[in-house]
Amino acid sequence: MKIGILTSGGDCPGLNAVIRGAVLKGVISHDAEFVGFRWGWRGVVEGDFMPIERHDVRGLSKQGGTILGSSRTNPFEGEGSGPENIQRMLDENGINAIIAIGGEGTLTAARRLTDAGLKIVGVPKTIDNDLAATDYSFGFDTAVEIATEAIDRLRTTAESHGRCMVVEVMGRHVGWIALHSGMAGGAHAILIPEHPTNIDQICEWVESVRDRGRAPLVVVAEGFHLDDMDEAHSHKGLDAFNRPRLGGIAERLAPMIEERTGIESRDTVLGHIQRGGAPSAYDRVLATRLGMASVDAVYDSAWGSMVTLRGTDIETVSIAEAVGSLNRVPESRYDEAKILFG
């Protein structure tokens, strides 16, 4: 069997470990052949792929990014797109199945293509932890580690100057990176999209920290909005899929806090640092296991399914189930963290 692999959406530490896990398992257990599509769905639409042999994946599990490249190309738009064209390209090149590694967007596209008869298996990828139907995906643990280290570093400079630091982390429309890194780093307030808050409450937390002689540290998720804002802050235009590019809320909040509390405030936006570099050991193991399981799913003809982590087991679920709703931070987890604010 010849299997095509693609990585799509925002890159994420652990993508290469999935590719390595899939190729090793496929070659060793099933005598499979592999090709890699370049730049996500773009490689599928343009028929742009390269062979991946066993020696190509040597030492790959610790390498950040993706050797295949990624993009936010829509497989339903433009020349060569759509299920009929894609199936023709696969037939012409003797490619029997696709393993699509991506987040909720990539997997939604995969589901639409499998509904039209294509043979695709999904592997969940997200630093945001916004995918339902998997307890975690690789990338999240690494992003939280990076954000936590940044928070630790910001605290020493904040304490040295008696300043308030506002740290912005990624996460799109969910607050998992903020919640976990904020809790790990002992943040005095964590602001997430699931819980719009008013500026007076934020300043109350900040002032109570200052009154104890400490430097306040606020972690804010990029998708957070104050309760009087209609939507998340965005001033960077649209992404390739015409969605607003998020980011910049920390830059708005810091001066508001300074003006209301009189505490000198600074903002830091962590941005793509959270997605760069080597994956954590946890993410390498998870990614390798998901990659291996995705090949088994191909040999089980489990089209339209996604490999998933349930507890400590790797299982399969239908992609439809996985992309039906976002994995948001539940109320109970926020209430639990809130005890520590101020």
Ligand X SMILES: Nc1ncnc2c1ncn2[C@@H]1O[C@H](COP(=O)(O)OP(=O)(O)O)[C@@H](O)[C@H]1O
Ligand Y SMILES: O=P(O)(O)OC[C@H]1O[C@](O)(COP(=O)(O)O)[C@@H](O)[C@@H]1O
Binding-site sequence positions for substrate: 126-128, 163, 170-172, 222, 266, 272-275
- The count of residues in the chain is 342
In the list 61, 63, 73, 327, the residue contacting ligand X (rule: CB under 6 A) is 73
The single residue among 63, 81, 126, 288 that binds ligand Y, judged by CB under 6 A, is 126
106 binds ligand X (CB under 6 A): yes
CA distance 90 to 93: 5
Q: Which of 16, 18, 68, 20 is nearest to 42 (CA)?
A: 68
- The partner in contact with residue 331, picked from ligand Y, ligand X, Mg ion, none with C-beta cut-offs of 5 to 8 angstroms by kind, is none
310/115 Cα distance (integer angstroms): 25
Strand pairing report for 164-169 and 217-221: parallel
Beta strand 305-310 with 313-318 is antiparallel
Q: Which of 48, 56, 128, 230 is catalytic?
A: 128
Q: Which of 145, 142, 149 is nearest to 126 (CA)?
A: 142
171 binds, among ligand X, ligand Y, Mg ion, none (CB under 5 to 8 A by kind): ligand Y
Site for ligand X in 108-127 (CB under 6 A): 108-109, 112
Q: CA torsion sign, 338 to 220 to 109 to 30?
A: negative
Kindly state the smallest distance separating residue 161's Cβ from ligand Y, in Å. 29
201/234 with CB nearer ligand X: 234
- The item of ligand X, Mg ion, ligand Y, none sharing an interface with residue 275, based on CB under 5 to 8 Å by kind, is ligand Y
With CB under 5 to 8 Å by kind, the binding choice for 260 among ligand X, ligand Y, Mg ion, none is none
Contact flag: residue 124 with ligand Y (CB under 6 A): no
146 contacts ligand Y (rule: CB under 6 A)? no
Helices H / strands E in the chain, number of each: 11, 11
Asked whether position 74 contacts ligand X by CB under 6 A, the answer is yes
128 an active-site residue? yes
Contact partner, 170, from Mg ion, ligand X, ligand Y, none, Cβ < 5-8 Å per class: ligand Y
Residue 176 beta carbon to ligand X: minimum distance, rounded to whole angstroms: 14
Selection from 233, 13, 46, 234 nearest residue 127 by Cα: 13
Give CA–CA dist 315/106, Å, rounded: 19
Among 4, 10, 14, 291, binds ligand Y (CB under 6 A): 10
Rounded least distance, CB 12 to ligand Y, Å: 7
Alpha-carbon distance 73 to 316, whole Å?
26
What dihedral angle (degrees, nearest 10) is formed by the CA atoms of 323, 324, 327, 329? Answer: 160
User: Could you say whether residue 9 binds ligand Y (CB under 6 A)?
Assistant: yes
Alpha-carbon distances, residue 88 vs 68, 101, 108, 160 (angstroms): 22, 22, 21, 63
CB of 271 to ligand X, least distance (A): 16
Residues 196-225 that bind ligand Y (CB under 6 A): 222
Taking a C-beta distance cutoff of 8 angstroms, is the pair 37, 68 a contact? yes
- Contacting range for ligand Y; rule: CB under 6 A; set: 13-21, 58-66, 205-213, 239-247: 239-247
Instruction: Return residues touching ligand Y (CB under 6 A).
Output: 9-10, 103, 105, 126-128, 170-172, 222, 239, 245-246, 275
What residues act catalytically?
128
